[in-house]
Structure 1
Amino acid sequence: MPVFMMFGKYNAAAMAGISPRRTDKAVEIVKKNGGKVISMYAVMGEHDLVFTLDFPDLEKALTASVALNRLTGISFTTSPVVEVEKFDSLIAKAEHI
């Protein structure tokens, strides 16, 4: 399955709702969209949360991203991930065109 990174940024209302129960609901949203949680981290800096998730396709990843925003109020940016070896191979092909 394709891997996606989701970067989350809290606002004041989203901060007020932090709880293990909400986290469980978030994981359930991922699962309901055919996804699997690889990792979930709270971080400091530009983003407050970083999730690594498997989804069957882009549509499921985007649906989950919107559903997570509706549940939490957290603004998520969702990005597909390409392994470095595959990226290198794609770039090498592009250079020959």
Structure 2
Amino acid sequence: MPKFLIQATYTPEGTKGLLKEGASGRRDAVDRVVGDLGGTVEAMYFAFGEDDLVLIIDLPDPVSMAAVSLAVKASGALHTRATPLLTLEEVDEAAGRQVAFRAPGA
């Protein structure tokens, strides 16, 4: 199952919601959304600095990730970035594939 790193920053309105329902309330909401799409939450951490929230989630496919991303961004509560994560085996497989590429100007 594809794995994704999610980095998020709360908007002022999103922060108000977090303060109202707490971190465990947000974890429940994330578990529900990801679970409804057939996925799981591997890790969820709150942070401070550039990102307020960091998650690693498994979802059945990239379309499911896009659906989550669109819904979350439409809420206006968070700004998010999703990064697909690859296993060592997937990188080894990719490294073994022939790719016909010519660098610009070469």
Q: Is the 8 A contact 1:6 1:78 kept in 2?
A: yes
Give the superposition deviation at 1:65.
2.1
Extract unaligned runs of 5+ from structure 1: none
Give the superposition deviation at 1:47.
1.3
Give the superposition deviation at 1:61.
1.0
Distance 1:81 1:35 in 2: 15
Q: Which residue of 2 aligns with 1:40?
A: 44
**Structure 2 residue 65 is matched with structure 1 residue 61:** yes
**Structure 2 residue 16 is matched with structure 1 residue 16:** yes
CA deviations 1:51-93 (Å, max 9, x no partner) are 1000000000111122233457111111110124532552354
Extract unaligned runs of 5+ from structure 2: 102-106
Q: State the TM-score, normalizing by the size of structure 1.
A: 0.80
Q: What is the percentage of aligned positions where both structures have the same residue?
A: 27
What is the DSSP-based 3-state SS (H/G/I as helix, E as strand, rest coil) of the residue aligned with 1:78?
A: strand
Distance 2:51 2:95 in 1: 28
Count of aligned pairs between the two proteins: 97
Indicate the structure (1 or 2) with the bigger Cα radius of gyration. Answer: 2
CA deviations 1:2-47 (Å, max 9, x no partner) are 1011110111111100023233122201111111000001122321
Distance 2:75 2:29 in 1: 8
Residue identity in the other structure for 1:35: G
Which stretch shows the higher mean deviation, 39-48 or 80-89?
80-89
C-alpha RMSD over aligned residues: 2.3
Q: State the TM-score, normalizing by the size of structure 2.
A: 0.75
**Structure 2 residue 29 is matched with structure 1 residue 25:** yes
